[in-house]
Amino acid sequence: MIAWRVATGLVTLGVTAMAASVLAAPTTTVLYSFHGKTDGGSPEGGLIAGPDGVLYGTADTGGTNDNGTIFSLTPPATTGAAWSFKVLHRLTGGVEGGYPVGLTQDKSGNLYGYAVDFGAGHGTVFS
């Protein structure tokens, strides 16, 4: 233990030995690589998982007029096989909005989200 004297009293600095173990670096697997075209680009807002293991997300560019997409990724039937990517909707801008950045899902499986532009001028909430 090392003791230091300061104006308001005695402060102690404890030195503790800690054991550390080396952990293996985590590995990642690319499930899909966006092309930035009709499939979308710049995925935003994270992914949500449906009860069946399907992942849902948004890409805020690409799609129709570069207004973003809503997509799904379905897990393979066999381990190690490719995931299936599907565009569920291409936002068009205008009334429905553009640049989606988030989704949620209700108990019935309906998707809800929001887009940060267009609509009445400042974004939309959609289902």
Q: What pTM did the predictor assign?
A: 0.77
| Distance of alpha carbon 21 from alpha carbon 72, whole angstroms | 38
Of 52, 36, 28, 46, whose CA–CA distance to 87 is shortest?
36
Q: Tell me what pLDDT residue 55 has.
A: 96
Of 108, 102, 55, 109, whose CA–CA distance to 126 is shortest?
102
Bridge partner residues of 110 (DSSP): none
Q: Tell me what pLDDT residue 19 has.
A: 52
Half-sphere exposure of 39 (CA within 13 A, CB side): 13
Reported as a single tens digit per residue, the pLDDT across 14-52 is 444 445 556 777 888 899 999 999 999 999 889 999 988
